[in-house]
Amino acid sequence: MKLISQLGIILLLYFIGELIVFVLQIKIPGSILGMLLLLTLLQLNIIKVETIKEVSAFFINNMMLLFIPLGVGIIPQWNLISKEWIPIVSSTVISTFIVLLVVSVLIKKKKQ
Protein backbone atom coordinates (compact mmCIF):
# COMPACT_ATOMS: atom_id res chain seq x y z
CA MET A 1 0.00 0.00 0.00
CA LYS A 2 2.93 2.31 0.73
CA LEU A 3 4.27 2.00 -2.83
CA ILE A 4 0.85 2.78 -4.28
CA SER A 5 0.57 5.96 -2.22
CA GLN A 6 4.09 7.01 -3.25
CA LEU A 7 3.28 6.42 -6.90
CA GLY A 8 0.00 8.26 -6.40
CA ILE A 9 1.84 11.37 -5.18
CA ILE A 10 4.16 11.38 -8.18
CA LEU A 11 1.31 10.74 -10.63
CA LEU A 12 -0.86 13.40 -9.00
CA LEU A 13 1.87 16.01 -9.48
CA TYR A 14 2.34 14.82 -13.06
CA PHE A 15 -1.38 15.22 -13.79
CA ILE A 16 -1.44 18.65 -12.10
CA GLY A 17 1.44 19.68 -14.36
CA GLU A 18 -0.44 18.40 -17.42
CA LEU A 19 -3.60 20.18 -16.30
CA ILE A 20 -1.76 23.49 -15.84
CA VAL A 21 -0.25 23.17 -19.33
CA PHE A 22 -3.66 22.33 -20.82
CA VAL A 23 -5.47 25.19 -19.08
CA LEU A 24 -2.81 27.87 -19.59
CA GLN A 25 -1.72 26.64 -23.05
CA ILE A 26 1.96 27.11 -22.24
CA LYS A 27 4.75 25.48 -24.21
CA ILE A 28 6.36 23.60 -21.29
CA PRO A 29 5.74 19.83 -21.17
CA GLY A 30 3.38 18.87 -18.35
CA SER A 31 5.80 16.25 -17.08
CA ILE A 32 8.52 18.88 -16.64
CA LEU A 33 6.10 21.18 -14.85
CA GLY A 34 5.08 18.27 -12.62
CA MET A 35 8.73 17.62 -11.75
CA LEU A 36 9.19 21.29 -10.93
CA LEU A 37 6.14 21.12 -8.67
CA LEU A 38 7.61 18.06 -6.96
CA LEU A 39 10.96 19.83 -6.54
CA THR A 40 9.24 22.87 -5.07
CA LEU A 41 7.21 20.78 -2.63
CA LEU A 42 10.33 18.87 -1.59
CA GLN A 43 12.31 22.09 -1.08
CA LEU A 44 9.51 23.60 1.02
CA ASN A 45 9.31 20.36 3.07
CA ILE A 46 5.64 19.98 2.20
CA ILE A 47 6.54 16.52 0.88
CA LYS A 48 9.28 14.66 2.72
CA VAL A 49 11.85 12.69 0.73
CA GLU A 50 10.96 9.57 2.69
CA THR A 51 7.40 9.87 1.43
CA ILE A 52 8.42 9.01 -2.16
CA LYS A 53 11.81 7.35 -1.62
CA GLU A 54 11.09 3.76 -2.74
CA VAL A 55 9.19 4.62 -5.92
CA SER A 56 11.75 7.29 -6.84
CA ALA A 57 14.59 4.79 -6.37
CA PHE A 58 12.74 2.32 -8.60
CA PHE A 59 12.34 4.94 -11.35
CA ILE A 60 15.97 5.98 -11.13
CA ASN A 61 17.23 2.38 -11.18
CA ASN A 62 15.10 1.59 -14.23
CA MET A 63 15.52 4.88 -16.08
CA MET A 64 16.90 3.26 -19.24
CA LEU A 65 13.62 1.41 -19.75
CA LEU A 66 11.83 4.74 -19.82
CA PHE A 67 13.96 5.91 -22.78
CA ILE A 68 13.01 2.98 -25.05
CA PRO A 69 9.80 4.66 -26.33
CA LEU A 70 11.82 7.79 -27.11
CA GLY A 71 14.33 5.79 -29.14
CA VAL A 72 11.56 4.02 -31.04
CA GLY A 73 9.84 7.35 -31.70
CA ILE A 74 12.98 8.74 -33.33
CA ILE A 75 13.15 5.97 -35.95
CA PRO A 76 10.53 7.53 -38.29
CA GLN A 77 12.63 10.72 -38.33
CA TRP A 78 15.71 8.95 -39.69
CA ASN A 79 15.67 10.90 -43.00
CA LEU A 80 15.91 14.20 -41.12
CA ILE A 81 18.50 12.87 -38.69
CA SER A 82 20.71 11.51 -41.48
CA LYS A 83 20.73 14.91 -43.20
CA GLU A 84 21.43 16.90 -40.02
CA TRP A 85 23.69 14.48 -38.10
CA ILE A 86 26.66 16.83 -37.85
CA PRO A 87 24.79 19.61 -35.98
CA ILE A 88 23.03 17.01 -33.83
CA VAL A 89 26.24 15.24 -32.80
CA SER A 90 28.23 18.45 -32.32
CA SER A 91 25.53 20.08 -30.18
CA THR A 92 25.25 16.91 -28.11
CA VAL A 93 29.00 16.75 -27.50
CA ILE A 94 29.30 20.48 -26.75
CA SER A 95 26.31 20.51 -24.39
CA THR A 96 27.63 17.41 -22.60
CA PHE A 97 30.96 19.12 -21.93
CA ILE A 98 29.19 22.28 -20.77
CA VAL A 99 27.08 20.28 -18.33
CA LEU A 100 30.16 18.43 -17.04
CA LEU A 101 31.99 21.73 -16.60
CA VAL A 102 29.12 23.41 -14.75
CA VAL A 103 28.57 20.41 -12.47
CA SER A 104 32.28 20.16 -11.67
CA VAL A 105 32.45 23.87 -10.82
CA LEU A 106 29.38 23.61 -8.60
CA ILE A 107 30.73 20.55 -6.79
CA LYS A 108 34.09 22.24 -6.32
CA LYS A 109 32.40 25.36 -4.85
CA LYS A 110 30.24 23.23 -2.57
CA LYS A 111 33.25 21.39 -1.15
CA GLN A 112 35.00 24.65 -0.24
Share of the chain above pLDDT 90, in %: 73
Please report the pLDDT score of residue 17 as a whole number: 95
pTM of the model: 0.65
How does pLDDT run across 6-48, given as a tens digit for each residue?
999 999 999 999 999 999 999 999 999 999 999 999 999 999 9
> DSSP for 45-104?
TSS-GGGSHHHHHHHHHTHHHHTHHHHHHHGGGHHHHHHSHHHHHHHHHHHHHHHHHHHH
Please report the pLDDT score of residue 93 as a whole number: 97
Q: Is the distance from CB of 37 to CB of 13 less than 8 angstroms?
A: yes
Least-confidence region, from 12-21, 32-41, 68-77, 86-95: 68-77
Angle at 103 between CA 98 and CA 43, to 5 degrees: 125
